[in-house]
Structure 1
Amino acid sequence: MSSYDSGLTRLYTDFRGHELWYFIISYIGVLILQDSYFYFTHRLFHHPLLFQKLHQGHHQSRHPTPWTSFAFDPLEAVVQSLFFIVIVYLIPLHFITLIAVLITMTIWAVVNHLGLDRLPLSFPHHWLGKWFIGPAHHSLHHLKYQVHYGLYFTFWDNILGTQDPNYERKIRE
């Protein structure tokens, strides 16, 4: 019998279990939690003692392509998947919400690995876009390993000083 069948997870399928606002809040909340988890594990993967074992394969592409978004070292994939294994035991989530997060993560990763030459450098850097990671932001991470560790948002990079200090100027040029 699975953890779901035993009622150990917080996953549910009945739409009557929560109001519509909960689906929206839980989706956004999981994205924020995943971004935080990703930021700190990703930054840890760049530590010199761990980089070669956990993350070097992803950085084989100095100029990322959409395929780069699927290039994970096996241990890195395990560590990143732990987030979802834990989250389904902690937060009540409808299966559709979980699927929506997984689809968002996949599309976001592919878009962010399009590289600098696939979209305008200024994309998506309007007032709202400065809070989100886009291809230009993540491409700099592949060129300069010590900056831009986030997955969806620039929050942790800005707060913890891992935002490239020249990034704002570079995207305006």
Structure 2
Amino acid sequence: MIPNVLSQGGNVKLMNHSFCFYSFFFFGIIFARYFLIAGGAYLLFYLVLGKSLAKRSLRLKPPLSQSIWKDVELSILSAVIFAFCSAFIISEYDLGVTLLYTDLCEYGLWYLGVSFVAVLILQDTYFYFMHRMFHHRLLFRWMHFGHHRSEEPTPWSSFAFDLPEAIVQALFFIGIVFLVPLHFIALVALLMTMTIWAMLNHLGFELFPPSFKSHWFGRWFIGATHHSIHHRKYTVHYGLYFTLWDKLLGTQDPNYENYFHFGNFPVSATENEKVLCSHCQRTATNGIQCKGICVADNDY
């Protein structure tokens, strides 16, 4: 009896040490990934190619260093949360209770691709409804305001989540490894896709030509213009990868194609375009003024 208890106690200590090691290890990996991808994109598009790509810029004004630092601070916090979740997933994998696997022959190569696409669609669905929920006036202030604090996004904004939002986003991956058999290659590919796609959505430059919007790929996939509109008009464009849910549920901006084709990006609205702010329920111009009204009055 006593040896068994001692053995169990030793296993608990070993698991605690493993969890701590995994947490530090994954924090380093996650933050390095963020810094290299977001920092590299910012260096390339804002400092090296900024002037030559001025016509493709979606910004109204240059980014402020203070806003960038705030985004980096939130991203460090998000990296901590995702590191804890990653450590938990690997710890559970070590115990054999997840559906993660390493043998490609177990489900076949075809399943590797199918599972990647399926989980990508599931994540986009999860993200859409969570993101839309975050914009409810009772939740926005403490769950999502940090992401919109810099007003116009940069690549540094791609991982800038408030603590509750970071937890909700990370919980998707915890849930999925218990529900869907996933090879580690597929899991890593999903995480890299999420990171790179989020960076492109927050890039602040439209890299694709106007004709791209007419292509089938352009009609169904989200890019920088699509998501930048969301950062100015909070009541539209909640998806992560695909425009499907925005189209189905009426949150696709009806002028999106004009913005993309002709570069008529929303700066301000006319009197006829004024709507009720979804957060404070006061009159707002395309949701843009709600930052000046709600935030100043702490009405979120």
Residue type of the partner of 2:105?
A: R
Which residues of 2 match residues 36-51 of structure 1 at below 5 A?
Answer: 36-51=125-140
The structure whose Rg is larger is 2
1:166: which partner in 2? 255
Shift of 1:6: 2.1
Shift of 1:119: 2.7
Give the RMSD, CA atoms, in angstroms: 1.4
Query: Partners in 1 of 2:168 and 2:240 — Cα distance?
Result: 15
Query: Partners in 1 of 2:183 and 2:255 — Cα distance?
Result: 41
1:52: which partner in 2? 141
2:172: which partner in 1? 83
TM-score normalised by structure 1 residue count: 0.95
1:122: which partner in 2? 210
2:294: which partner in 1? none
Which residues of 2 match residues 1-173 of structure 1 at below 5 A?
Answer: 2-115=91-204, 117=205, 119-120=207-208, 122=210, 124-125=212-213, 126-173=215-262
Contact 2:100 2:182 (C-alpha < 8 Å) held by counterparts? yes
Residue type of the partner of 2:135?
A: H
Query: Partners in 2 of 1:13 and 1:34 — Cα distance?
Result: 22
2:87: which partner in 1? none
Shift of 1:169: 2.0
Q: Deviations over 1:107-160 (max 9, x none)?
A: 000011011x45357384222111000000000000001100000000000000
Query: Partners in 2 of 1:100 and 1:123 — Cα distance?
Result: 29
Residue type of the partner of 2:170?
A: S
SS at match of 2:94: coil
Q: Which runs of 5+ in 1 are unaligned?
A: none
Residue type of the partner of 2:169?
A: Q
Residue identity over aligned pairs, in percent, reads: 63
Q: Deviations over 1:79-105 (max 9, x none)?
A: 000100000000000011000000000
Query: Partners in 1 of 2:210 and 2:202 — Cα distance?
Result: 15
- Which has the higher relative contact order, 1 or 2, with Cα contacts under 8 A spaced 6 or more apart? 1
TM-score normalised by structure 2 residue count: 0.55
Contact 2:147 2:157 (C-alpha < 8 Å) held by counterparts? yes
Name the structure where helix makes up a greater proportion of residues: 2
Aligned structure 1 segments of 4 or more residues deviating by more than 6 angstroms: none
How many residue pairs match? The answer is 172
Residue type of the partner of 2:241?
A: Y
Q: Which runs of 5+ in 2 are unaligned?
A: 1-14, 16-90, 263-300
